[in-house]
Amino acid sequence: MMHGRKSGGQRLMGKLWQVNWTLVLLIGLLASIGFAMLYSAANGNLSPWASRQMAIFAVGLVVMLAIGLVDIRFWLRHAYWPYGLTLAMLAGVEILGKSKGGARRWLDLEIFQLQPSEFVKFTLVLALARYFHRLNFDDIGRPQFLLVPLFLIALPVVLVQRQPDLGTALFMLLGGAAIFFIAGVRLWKFAVVALAIMVAVPVVWPMLKDYQQERVLTFLSPERDPGDKGYQILQSKIALGSGGTFGRGFMKGTQSHLNFLPERQTDFIFTMLAEEFGLFGGLGLLGLYAMLLAYGIAIAMRSTSQFGRLLAMGVTIMVFLYVFINIAMVMGMLPVVGLPLPLISRGGTAMLAVLGGFGLVISVYVHRDARIGRHGEDG
């Protein structure tokens, strides 16, 4: 790269022009809804949540744009590095991690705390996209070529599962499987795996230790948990349902503000939104997410490289899983797994990870017509 400063500056301006600003606007809109909800959750105060969330979002926005402006070929060539780094952090949690609420998920970095499992979801996408991009399409049909990506998925899944965080482990398995699917892995192979799991469950189950069995059962039926997840879900449904069609009004949600609703600033923020803004607010938020995801999918379809397609689609799938699992959970359709609502729930790591993921999507968009060889060389 032999560009002078001036021409580099011109190129940067040109690239910024290329960024899909509608997507950025959507992201900003969702984050702003998040700020409003955090302001309400603190009973009309910016501290402790909203102001911090705004600062993190500002940082994340810059990071997102920076990632987006980096040449997609750079990301292709170095796709395994972020993966390796985040995996190392995950392993670090195992060794030095801080536990919160019974599970070790946090890495204490003095100034702030990081939850590496949030990042892994997106670096995994990067690594898988890289791998499938390089793979000859005919080779996808050969099972031995699927061993490496399976391994890429299995490593973080096993580490996360040990924290224990069965929810995130399943999340990554689902996301990974979806990427396998869009990469073109034959359907019958999924059928075989599904069949194998069905056969394996009754065999493996008795081999699990008591505490492992307990962990799985708690995941499936939270009422067993002494931590009162059953109470949380009931309170969430009461708050949601009592919101009715038009809601109780901003900052007027009685259940949320009288503390009947647990974790209203994190996992159950959608409940508070739906209590205060009713069915219209809830459906409106779902609509915004749908638009965001549609943009992601459109960008993926429009990309000329397989890497770009898989990357954009993979990130979209991960974000979809976040949204779907979180909202289904607070409405009592899925077990309570402790997953934030992306861009809205309080939490710095998830915010940064999601924005980083969209940075990759923007990069795909900006470089949509770039021809990329199998090893990232200009094609």
Partner 1 sequence: MKAEKLRAKVFSRRAAIVAGGQAALFAGLGARLYYLQVVQADRYRTLADENRINLRLLAPPRGAITDRFGELLATNVQNYRVVIIREQTGDMAATLARLAKLLAPDSFDAARIRHDAKRRRAFVPITVRENLTWDEVSRLEVNAPNLPGVGIDVGLSRHYPRGAQMAHVLGYVAAVSEADLTDDPVLQLPGFRIGKRGIERRFDARLRGKAGNSQVEVNAFGRVIREIRRQDGQPGARLALTLDAGLQAFTTKRLVRERSAAAVIMNVHNGDVLTMVSSPGFDPNEFSAGISRESWRRLMRNPYSPLSNKVLQGQYPPGSTFKIAVALAALEAGITVGHRVFCRGFIELGDRKFHCWKKGGHGKMNIQSAIRESCDVYFYDIALKIGVDRIAEMSRRLGLGEKYDSDLDGQKAGLIPTRAWKRAVIGSRWQKGETAVAAIGQGYVLSTPLQLAVMTARAVNGGIAVVPRLALRAGAAQPDFPSLGISAAALRIVADAMDQVVNHYLGTARKSRIEDPAMAIGGKTGTSQVRRITMAERAADLHNNKKKRWRDRDHALFVGFAPVTAPQYAVAVVVEHGGGGSKTAAPIASAMLAEAQRRDSARAAETIAAVSSS
Looking only at residues 108 through 137 of this chain, which bind partner 1 when binding is defined by CB under 8 A?
A: 136-137
141 binds partner 1 (CB under 8 A): no
Pick from 241, 369, 373, 377 the residue near partner 1 by CB under 8 A. 241
Q: How far is the CB of 6 from partner 1 (least distance, A)?
A: 37
Nearer residue to partner 1 within complex by CB, 106 or 320? 320
**Would you give the distance in Å from CA 177 to the centre of its chain?**
15
333 binds partner 1 (CB under 8 A): yes
* Binding-residue pattern over the window 61 to 80 for partner 1, x denoting contact by CB under 8 A: --------------------
How is residue 195 written in tokens?
Answer: 């069949």
Pick from 115, 117, 161, 255 the residue near partner 1 by CB under 8 A. 255
Kindly provide the residue ranges of all beta strands, DSSP E only, lying in the chain, ordered along the sequence. Answer: 98-100, 103-109, 112-114
Instruction: With contacts defined by CB under 8 A, name the span among 3-11, 255-263, 336-344, 360-368 that binds partner 1.
Output: 255-263
User: What whole-number distance in Å separates Cα of residue 124 and Cα of residue 226?
Assistant: 34
Pick from 237, 251, 288, 291 the residue near partner 1 by CB under 8 A. 237
Exposure letters 132-145 (e unless 16+ CB within 10 A, then b): bbbbeeeebeeeeb
Q: What torsion do the CA atoms of 18, 23, 26, 27 make, to the nearest 10 degrees?
A: -90
**Do residues 107 and 115 lie in contact, with contact meaning Cβ atoms separated by under 8 Å?**
yes
Q: Furthest-apart CA pair in the chain: how many Å?
A: 67
CA-to-CA separations, 102 to 44, 133, 211, 225, 349, in angstroms, rounded? 31, 39, 14, 12, 19
3-state secondary structure 242-285: HHCCCCCCCCCCHHHHCCCCCCCCCCCHHHHHHHHHHHHHHHHH
Instruction: With contacts defined by CB under 8 A, name the span among 12-20, 84-92, 237-245, 341-349 that binds partner 1.
Output: 237-245
User: What whole-number distance in Å separates Cα of residue 366 and Cα of residue 308?
Assistant: 10
How is residue 310 written in tokens?
Answer: 């898989």
CA-to-CA separations, 115 to 90, 128, 295, 348, 352, in angstroms, rounded? 8, 21, 27, 9, 11
Pick from 306, 345, 349, 363 the residue near partner 1 by CB under 8 A. 306
Q: How far is the CB of 325 from partner 1 (least distance, A)?
A: 10
272 binds partner 1 (CB under 8 A): no
259 binds partner 1 (CB under 8 A): yes
Q: What torsion do the CA atoms of 67, 71, 75, 78 make, to the nearest 10 degrees?
A: -120
354 binds partner 1 (CB under 8 A): no
User: What whole-number distance in Å separates Cα of residue 366 and Cα of residue 370?
Assistant: 9
Q: How far is the CB of 200 from partner 1 (least distance, A)?
A: 25
Q: How far is the CB of 184 from partner 1 (least distance, A)?
A: 4
Nearer residue to partner 1 within complex by CB, 145 or 324? 324
Pick from 170, 274, 337, 353 the residue near partner 1 by CB under 8 A. 274
282 binds partner 1 (CB under 8 A): yes
Instruction: With contacts defined by CB under 8 A, name the span among 48-56, 90-98, 162-170, 300-308 that binds partner 1.
Output: 300-308
* Binding-residue pattern over the window 312 to 331 for partner 1, x denoting contact by CB under 8 A: -x---x--x---x--xx--x
CA-to-CA separations, 63 to 67, 69, 333, in angstroms, rounded? 6, 10, 35
Q: CB within 8 A of 19, min separation 6: which ones? A: 65, 68, 69, 362, 365, 366
State which H helix or E strand residue 308 sits in: helix 306-330
Q: How far is the CB of 329 from partner 1 (least distance, A)?
A: 11
260 binds partner 1 (CB under 8 A): yes
Looking only at residues 156 through 215 of this chain, which bind partner 1 when binding is defined by CB under 8 A?
A: 178, 181-184
291 binds partner 1 (CB under 8 A): no
**Do residues 336 and 42 lie in contact, with contact meaning Cβ atoms separated by under 8 Å?**
no
Nearer residue to partner 1 within complex by CB, 126 or 300? 300
Binding residues vs partner 1 (CB under 8 A): 136-138, 178, 181-184, 235, 237-245, 254-255, 257-260, 274, 278-279, 282-283, 286, 289-290, 293-294, 297, 300-301, 306, 309-310, 313, 317, 320, 324, 327-328, 331, 333
